[in-house]
Amino acid sequence: MKISINKNVLETVLLNTQPYLEKKDLSQITSHLYISSLEDTFVVKATDYEIGLEYTTKNIKIIDSGIATANGKKLLDIVKILKDEEVILETINDYLYIKQNNSKFKLPMFNPNEFPEFPKIEDKPKFELNSTLLVRSLKKIANAIDTNNPKFELNGALIDIKEGFLNLVATDTRRLALVKLENQIEDNFSLIIPKKAISEIQKLFFDDIEMFYDENTLIAKSNNFQFFTKLINGKFPDYERIIPKEKNYRLLLNREKMIDAIKQISIVSNEMKITFKSNSILFESLNDDNIEAKTEIEFTTGLDNEIFLAVNSRYLIDFLSNIEDSNFTLGFNDTGLPFSLESENFMTIVMPIMI
């Protein structure tokens, strides 16, 4: 293999593939990138078996077709220090040479034929999504995905499609985040996508994408890349049961005023008590260090009796920092019961702290 490619083009491809590499065991072929040049197409693949990315570009001059592998991190480190000019990649006797002007580097290769095969899209059901809407929606629920939960299904986000809607759901058992999107998909199905894959999807998806799936794998395809992730097997909690069917009180609150008050209290304590009075909302810190923070905003709630919510402020900020509207709706039934935060098609259900 021998190709000529612009340094910036190559660096972009290598940067995009870094999160998919095996980082700890450099003896594994998955610490290497699979590099292929055929006719007018340059392909780079990376995978740690759980997720993978195939990146394709035609912005290249192929002198000799072929395949190669190289340690992905070392190759990126080399390319980063080169000038913004053409770079030559060439394979000679099981080594990949990187050349530019008077500079030359040599990296050992593994056998490219032993690189893991990527899942195929043939014969898999597919659906299409607007990538901008998908990325924005995933960002809203991402903070509610749990980490290292022994119930593996909670370490991912649920895509639940039924009755003309696509629901994106995540929960860490203390809160549940839900985005509801209209969709024309006829089939009813659900998938649990791991948290790492959710993070990479948010970085990658800019164009409209086609999604292919089976019970074990989700594949996303666009013009320049093909991404796959293994799915989490398990039964996601029945999230619809957690959502209160009715709310005795619904308050339309100002986003900026609430953020300002919450941040004042969170300087002292992340746990706080919010008391809704008839003509104001009182925010107070909850801690045992004899340190106190308190602030109050004027607001006509229309309540006859005071009701308070004790809550971790991070859950409120996670919601408020991911909405576009200047106002949102707080729905609750009584002190000590789960309450809802709603804005357009985004909802978070929060379990209060018991005090």
Give dist(CA 286, CA 272) in Å, integer.
5
Are both 87 and 142 inside the same structural domain? no
The per-residue pLDDT for 146 is 93
* Domain closes at, from 114, 137, 168: 114
322 in a structural domain: yes
Number of domains in the chain: 3
Are both 66 and 135 inside the same structural domain? no
The per-residue pLDDT for 246 is 87
Edge-to-edge order in the sheet of strand 61-64: 61-64, 2-6, 86-92, 95-100, 103-108
Are both 15 and 105 inside the same structural domain? yes
Are both 249 and 319 inside the same structural domain? yes
Other Cβ atoms less than 10 A from the Cβ of 54: the count is 21
Contact partners, residue 198, CB within 8 Å, separation at least 6 = 138, 142, 145, 156, 157
**Helix, strand, coil proportions of the chain in percent (round to 5)?**
20, 40, 35
The per-residue pLDDT for 355 is 80
The per-residue pLDDT for 127 is 80
| DSSP symbol at 18 | G
Burial code (b: 16+ CB inside 10 Å, e: under 16) for 248-259 equals eeebebebeebe
109 in a structural domain: yes
120 in a structural domain: no
pLDDT, averaged in runs of 10, over the chain (355 residues): 96 95 94 93 96 93 96 97 96 97 96 96 84 89 92 94 89 96 81 93 79 92 91 93 89 96 95 95 89 94 91 96 96 91 96 89
Q: Domain holding 160: CATH number?
A: 3.10.150.10
The per-residue pLDDT for 336 is 87
| DSSP symbol at 351 | P
* Dihedral sign, Cα of residue 55, residue 59, residue 60, residue 65: positive
List the domain range (segments joined by +) for residue 329: 244-350
The per-residue pLDDT for 348 is 97
Length of the chain: 355
121 in a structural domain: no
55 in a structural domain: yes
